Structure 1
Amino acid sequence: MLDTVEQVRPADRPAEPPRKARRPRRELLPYLLLAPAILLELLIHIVPMMVGVAISFLKLTQFYLRNWKAAPFAGGDNYKLAVNINQPAGKALLHSFAVTLAFTILVLGFSWLLGMAAAVLTQRTFAGRGILRTLFLIPYAMPVFASVITWSFMLQRDTGVVNHVLVDQLQVVDHRPFWLIGQNSFYSLVIVTIWRSWPFAFLCLTAGLQSIPGELYEAAALDGAGIGGQLRRVTLPLLAPVNRVLILVLFLWTFNEFTTPYTLFGKSAPHQADLISMHIYQNSFVTWNFGTGSAMSVLLLLFLLVVTGSYLVAVNRRTEHA
């Protein structure tokens, strides 16, 4: 009898679920999906950057283009030439850096102000808000070359729309200014770049405003806060995370701006609008001095890394103390 019971008990026990076999392929799947992106990142950014660093230590000119590895080793001569402000090359680079810094501050500041104002004005629902927002985003959505070439035609001295409106229609000035040469070229470049950049700020700030509850504005209004008080006490503090990222991105984009001045002025920008990106381009592809141009590019990269790191450290410290 006991033998019969013992024989029945194992059969009555529920069968253990089969153990799942290990699937190494599934563990490798994320890495396989990331592999194309990593490969393209290496081919498009990392490898060219390392080649540029290597070229900066060579006396690479048009005589060694076919075999750039045969170019003489320059050591740190290219860097010394770029930073020596007593030499023409160093003075020109310093001037270009100062122009780029002023250009970046103006474009970043006005782009943020216009984007913030437009985002706040279109925050509440009203008739035609969607159409107005769409119109605001047109400069950002347009191809860069098409929009900047249009501006270059508008800024022409004799046939441009700008002079036609200012001189013929409004009679603000009694002569037709040159907008693409001299000191006016700097202001023209700033205006065109702001026109292209501020919709991006508007888009980011509008997205940030959508996450702010309307009850906070109602509570602030009940406490007697006006529009300025609501902006200072509710909007700006809650938009701080968005503004931190937005300001950094706008700074990096604007400081490295190349397409707009190249399309607006061509290969040779005026002295007053000689941005550092155009200056490096001229040293590399106009005078065929790739070693000096690469050294300037490396110095620009180091400067941007230092600024970005300092900005992130300062922001993190301020966030921790807040």
Structure 2
Amino acid sequence: MGRESTRANRRRGRLLPYALILPAVLLETVVHLGPILAGIWTSLTRLTQLNIRDWTGAPVVWWDNYRSGLDPSGPIGGVLWETFLRTVAFTVLVVAASWALGMMAAYLVNTEFRGRAAFRALFLVPFAMPTFVTVIGWSFVFDRDDGALNHLLVDQTGVLDERPFWLIGGNAFWAMVVVAAWRLWPFAFLMLLAALRNVPGELYEAGVLDGASRWQQFRRITLPVIRPVNAVVILIMGLWSFNEFTVPYVLFGPQPPESATLLASLIYEHSFVNFNMGLGSAMNVLVLLFLMGVSVWYVRTFLPRTHDA
């Protein structure tokens, strides 16, 4: 009897952690999996404002929405593929700029100098401010007539002869990249600074004794040691940037210029401007599948190597 009681107690001890997290797992499953399943079902229907009240009874068109979205020769598919490539370019530029700025700032404040704490707090201001406040502020900077940028480039320095439009035309894309990178780089700074603080000082001392320059120390010591954090930071920023909606929406409105239309904005337009929720859901599912595939490839390619570093 004593042995059976001991085994039962051990079994209950092993099951207790799972029992404690079970409510949270169930809640997370309902919160996340429920909308995903509803979105997949909606993508198979022709759901519009005419049948939104009874969305479960919307006409089922099966794969028609996906065919329209994936056909590059069609009017919808052509725009989707063009927007997809633009979103990829936007993501690469924003992540690269944010990482570079974050790394430079982290490397700067990781050294000892007077006022370092003040710089750390100052660098976090863009990340702490609400996004819509940040974007509205930048919209005033990019204003053609009264904006600070044109005032600097035209009135103060004379670099340009005419006031360019920054929020329409081809310049709109670059304005959006600047705003998104400025808002995101403090996150990279915060994470990379934490990683730099954990690099052993003995490695740099050994590098100095071996005659390594600052660049060689950074390339051969810093980057390999912080590679795990780097990989996670880049992945998170990439997912955030690819799904960016707030910046173009606040900067340009519900329908941004063509050069600044990202996938999230295109999905919003089809779903809540044109009220073609079925097509918008199909695009959303395609984006989900793409990001899942890229994330799995990225994790399998980069994260396992971090354990060997």
Letter in 2 for 1:52: G
More deviation, 283-292/166-175: 166-175
User: Which of 119, 122, 126 is the equivalent residue of 1:139?
Assistant: 126
Describe the superposition over 1:149-186 as per-residue Cα deviations: whole angstroms up to 9, x where unpaired: 11112211112122112211122111111111110100
Describe the superposition over 1:63-114 as per-residue Cα deviations: whole angstroms up to 9, x where unpaired: 1111112211101000000001111100110111011011001001111111
The whole-number CA distance in structure 1 between the counterparts of 2:105 and 2:190 is 9
User: Which of 88, 91, 94 is the equivalent residue of 1:101?
Assistant: 88
User: Which of 269, 275, 279 is the equivalent residue of 2:266?
Assistant: 279
Q: Counterpart of 1:215?
A: 202
User: Which of 144, 147, 154 is the equivalent residue of 2:141?
Assistant: 154
Describe the superposition over 1:248-280 as per-residue Cα deviations: whole angstroms up to 9, x where unpaired: 111111101111111111100110011001001
Change beyond 3 A, Cα 1:302–1:121 = same
| Higher alpha-carbon Rg | 1
Q: Counterpart of 1:240?
A: 227
Alignment check: 8 A CA contact 2:227 2:306 kept: no
5+ unaligned residues in a row in structure 2: which ranges? none
Partner-residue secondary structure (3-state), 1:64: coil
Describe the superposition over 1:281-320 as per-residue Cα deviations: whole angstroms up to 9, x where unpaired: 1011100000000000000000011111111121256457
User: Which of 299, 304, 319 is the equivalent residue of 2:286?
Assistant: 299
The whole-number CA distance in structure 1 between the counterparts of 2:304 and 2:52 is 48
Alignment check: 8 A CA contact 2:141 2:149 kept: yes
Partner-residue secondary structure (3-state), 1:82: helix
Partner-residue secondary structure (3-state), 1:86: coil
User: Which of 110, 119, 122 is the equivalent residue of 2:106?
Assistant: 119
Letter in 2 for 1:229: Q
Q: Does 1:82 align with 2:76?
A: no
Deviation of 1:24 after TM superposition, in Å, equals: 10
Deviation of 1:49 after TM superposition, in Å, equals: 0.9
Deviation of 1:321 after TM superposition, in Å, equals: 7.2
Instruction: Report % sequence identity.
Output: 51
Letter in 2 for 1:155: F
More deviation, 270-279/41-50: 41-50
Letter in 1 for 2:63: G
Change beyond 3 A, Cα 1:100–1:125 = same
Change beyond 3 A, Cα 1:39–1:167 = farther
Q: Does 1:170 align with 2:157?
A: yes
The whole-number CA distance in structure 1 between the counterparts of 2:303 and 2:19 is 34
User: What is the 5 A alignment of 1:51-62?
Assistant: 51-62=38-49
Deviation of 1:124 after TM superposition, in Å, equals: 1.1
The whole-number CA distance in structure 2 between the counterparts of 1:274 and 1:62 is 24
Q: TM-score, normalised by structure 1?
A: 0.89
Letter in 1 for 2:188: A
The whole-number CA distance in structure 1 between the counterparts of 2:240 and 2:35 is 19
More deviation, 209-218/72-81: 209-218
User: Which of 284, 298, 308 is the equivalent residue of 1:311?
Assistant: 298
More deviation, 35-44/290-299: 35-44
Q: Counterpart of 2:172?
A: 185
Q: Counterpart of 1:9?
A: none
Q: Counterpart of 2:35?
A: 48
